[in-house]
């Protein structure tokens, strides 16, 4: 099994209109690896970083990013670390929660709460009725 770094996935996903020859070559190599049939692994940290790269560097809208991740979860030879948590996070992400916050929450399911000073996160989670309860420590 081969673990993938964020840049491999980003290159395979994003077709840059103004890409130079080296970037185009990397895209071809990344896509060839993904379609090779080899067993591939995506660490959860790469999933989180990929969302940031697709949103921040490439301006991809959240719904498109969620679709990319849902497609990744369905690829037979691609094992996504903590796939159930990623899938759960995508539901919250599609409802407007920040992806990283949604992933933190999805991985905190056995806890009685999630402590944060991020008031926006706490309010959004409360509005959506998410558990565990997200709140600031007192």
Residue 10 has pLDDT above 90, yes or no: yes
CA distances for 69 relative to 38, 41, 50, 116, 132, angstroms: 19, 14, 9, 26, 23
Domain presence at residue 138: no
pLDDT, the chain, mean: 96
Look up tokens 């995506």; give the residue. Answer: 42
Confidence of residue 109 (pLDDT cuts 50, 70, 90): confident
Residue 81 has pLDDT above 90, yes or no: yes
Domain presence at residue 77: yes
pLDDT in tens, 34-54: 999 999 999 999 999 999 999
Domain presence at residue 33: yes
Domain presence at residue 26: yes
Domain presence at residue 130: no
Q: Are 86 and 73 in contact (CB under 8 A)?
A: yes
The predicted model scores a pTM of: 0.92
Number of domains making up the chain: 1
Residue 103 has pLDDT above 90, yes or no: yes
Domain presence at residue 114: no
Q: What percent of the chain has pLDDT over 70?
A: 100
Q: Which long-range contacts (CB under 8 A, 24 or more apart) does 49-52 make?
A: 49/6, 50/6, 50/9, 50/10, 51/99, 51/100, 52/99, 52/100
Domain presence at residue 136: no
98: containing domain: 2-109
Confidence of residue 60 (pLDDT cuts 50, 70, 90): very high
Domain presence at residue 121: no
């Amino acid at each position: 099994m081969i673990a993938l770094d964020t840049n491999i996935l980003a290159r395979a996903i994003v077709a840059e209109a103004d890409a130079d020859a080296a970037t185009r070559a990397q895209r071809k190599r990344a896509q060839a690896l993904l379609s090779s049939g080899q067993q591939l692994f995506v660490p959860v940290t790469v999933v989180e970083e990929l969302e940031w790269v697709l949103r921040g560097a490439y301006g991809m809208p959240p719904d498109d990013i969620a679709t990319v991740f849902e497609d990744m979860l369905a690829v037979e030879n691609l094992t996504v670390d903590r796939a159930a948590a990623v899938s759960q996070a995508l539901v919250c992400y599609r409802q407007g929660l920040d992806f990283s916050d949604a992933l933190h929450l999805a991985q905190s399911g056995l806890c009685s709460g999630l402590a944060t000073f991020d008031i926006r996160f706490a309010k959004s989670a409360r509005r959506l009725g998410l558990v565990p309860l997200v709140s600031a420590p007192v």
